[in-house]
Amino acid sequence: MSGEPKQISCAEFQSHLSELIGSGADVSAHPHLQNCALCQALLADLQTIADAARQLFTNVEPPDDLWKQIESAIEKEENEEDKDTH
């Protein structure tokens, strides 16, 4: 991180943001954010999205007939294996 926050533009900061977030560092402590409401908002939104993702997509039930299709496909494979064996 730079000690010269005023010399870092939003574009520069954002160009490094994926690496900063991915590094696990505390991005909120970055000097650029201390005086930039736009990038603060961006970071907060990205964090909100990442947090919300964990609550997404409750598991759903597959169609009832899917097991019959799988059973049938397994049976077909086994029959083919039997033919190859004999």
- Residue 82 binds other proteins, judged by CB under 8 A: no
d(CA 12, CA 42): 14
Q: Which of residues 11-70 bind other proteins (CB under 8 A)?
A: 11, 14, 17-19, 21-22, 37-39, 41-42, 44-46, 48-50, 52-63, 66-70
| 61: three-class secondary structure by DSSP | coil
The letter for the amino acid at 15 is S
d(CA 8, CA 62): 50
Q: Which residues bind other proteins (CB under 8 A)?
A: 10-11, 14, 17-19, 21-22, 37-39, 41-42, 44-46, 48-50, 52-63, 66-71, 73-75, 77-78
